[in-house]
Amino acid sequence: MENKNIYVPYKMKIEKVTEEAPFVKTFRLKFMNDEDAEKFDFRTGQFGEYSVYGEGESTFCIASAPTRKGYIECTFREAGRVTKALANLGEDDIIGFRGPYGNIFPIDEWKGKNLLFIAGGIALPPMRSVIWNCLDLRENFKDVTILYGARSVADLVYKHELKEWEERPDVKLVTTVDPGGETPEWNGKVGFVPTVLSEIAPSSENTIAIVCGPPIMIKYTFPVLEKLGFTDENIFTTLENRMKCGFGKCGRCNVGKVFVCKDGPVFTLKQMKELPAEY
């Protein structure tokens, strides 16, 4: 009998654990049931509910790209009850996963355009999925610029991948840390993301900006983008309201006439401006 209980998660095995930064880990997850693996499909921008039985569920994006088949990855910071329990797990442990939920980054519509990714701190994971998705389809896009900032050098996640992006001739990577967060060896920039963005002043011509970060970073980044000439339709972000169900029933991610889980999490600045600022 087909299982139609929408609250029952897939069973996933933790295949690999990567320590990204203090209290930040990435899990590579594999479906334990081959049929589930076969049926499962997602697109970049979507998220899921990850569960530790006995502790509960936690919401994060799928941090891997749909072009990388056979597994999904999630990156999380130890912060609450569930993420602390997740952090205590290791390779071969079993967790639950429900998803994929939500809408997507419309990368098909971005063909032939320049892409400007702007991320802060632990908000690189949702961006990483779309970055890799676009880099795996590199010929579809023109210039790719990634601006990534964190509080300190230690807080930068995906250090190995940052290096990979830095070395790619077809990617322009700019990394920055907040003033005081630098180390003697640091050769990136020092300054807050919005400030560094005005400094490097990328052209808005034929360019899509994708912004992801803490509310305070987002708040100061949008005006800089507007100054650079980006229109509201060409600025994308992904919202992270508190969620439980993931499909528009439990009520907590309701903002105005939308549910972040069902109608988002990806929104353009134009769409965000039509919502009450309850995110």
Partner 1 sequence: MEIVNKLLDKSALSALIERLSKSGKEVYAPVKENGITDFAKVDTIDKIDFDCITTIQSAKSLVFPRVENILSYKKTSEDIVVKNVDITAFPEVVALGTRPCDAAGFIPLDAIFCTDNADEIFNARLKKLTVISISCKKADEYCFCTSVNGNPGNTTGSDILFTEISDSTYFAEIVSEKGKAILDTNTDLFKDTAAIDKTPHLAEVKQEFTAEAINEKLNTLFESDIWDKQSMRCVGCGACAYVCPACGCFDIQDENKGNKGIRHRCWDSCGFGLFTLHTSGHNPREKQSQRWRQRIFHKFSYQPVQQKQFGCVGCGRCSRACPADMNIAEHLKEIAVN
Which of residues 26 and 59 has its CB atom nearest to partner 1 in the complex?
59
Name beta bridge partners: 29.
14, 72
Residue from 251, 270, 273, 274 in contact with partner 1 (CB under 8 A):
251
Nearest of 162, 152, 170, 130 to residue 42 by alpha carbon: 130
Asked if 90 interacts with partner 1 (CB under 8 A), we say: no
Left, alpha or beta for 110 (phi > 0: left; psi -120 to 50: alpha)? alpha
Task: Name the segment binding partner 1 (CB under 8 A); options: 35-43, 53-61, 152-160, 191-199.
Answer: 53-61
The residue to which tokens 């920039």 are assigned: 189
- By CB under 8 A, residue 259 contacts partner 1: yes
d(CA 128, CA 132): 6
The strand pair at 266-268 and 235-238 is best described as antiparallel
Phi, psi of 132 (to 5 degrees): -65, -35
CA angle 125, 129, 131 (to 5 degrees): 100
Q: Which stretch binds partner 1 (CB under 8 A): 7-15, 22-30, 185-193, 203-211?
A: 7-15
Q: Is 8 a residue that touches partner 1 (CB under 8 A)?
A: yes
Closer residue to partner 1 (CB): 113 or 244: 244
Residue 219 CA to residue 263 CA, distance in Å, equals: 22
User: Hey, which residues between 99 and 138 contact partner 1 (CB under 8 A)?
Assistant: none
The residue type found at 68 is R
In terms of Cβ atoms closer than 10 Å to its own Cβ (0-12, 13-18, 19+), residue 160 is exposed
- Decide if 197 contacts 147 (C-beta within 8 A): yes
Query: Does the footprint of partner 1 cover residue 154 (CB under 8 A)?
Result: no
Q: Which of 210, 211, 262, 264 binds partner 1 (CB under 8 A)?
A: 262
How far apart CA 13 and CA 255 sit, in angstroms, is: 34
Judged by beta carbon, residue 116 or residue 157, the one nearer partner 1 is 157
Name which position in 79, 138, 154, 219 contacts partner 1 (CB under 8 A): 79
Q: Which of 66/99 has CB closer to partner 1?
A: 99
Q: Which of 138, 249, 270, 273 binds partner 1 (CB under 8 A)?
A: 249
Kindly list the distances between the CA atom of residue 105 and the CA atoms of 46, 100, 177, in Å, as whole numbers in the listed order: 8, 14, 27
The letter for the amino acid at 264 is: G
Of residues 150 and 228, the one with the C-beta less far from partner 1: 150
Q: In the complex, what is the shortest distance from the CB of residue 276 to partner 1, in angstroms, rounded to a whole number? A: 6
Looking at residues 56 to 75 of the shown chain, list those that interact with partner 1 (rule: CB under 8 A): 56-57
> Should residue 34 be labelled a site residue for partner 1 when binding is judged by CB under 8 A?
no
Would you count residue 215 as binding partner 1 (CB under 8 A)?
yes
Residues at the interface with partner 1 (CB under 8 A): 3-9, 11, 51, 53-57, 79-80, 83, 94, 96, 214-215, 240-242, 244-245, 247-257, 259, 262, 276-279
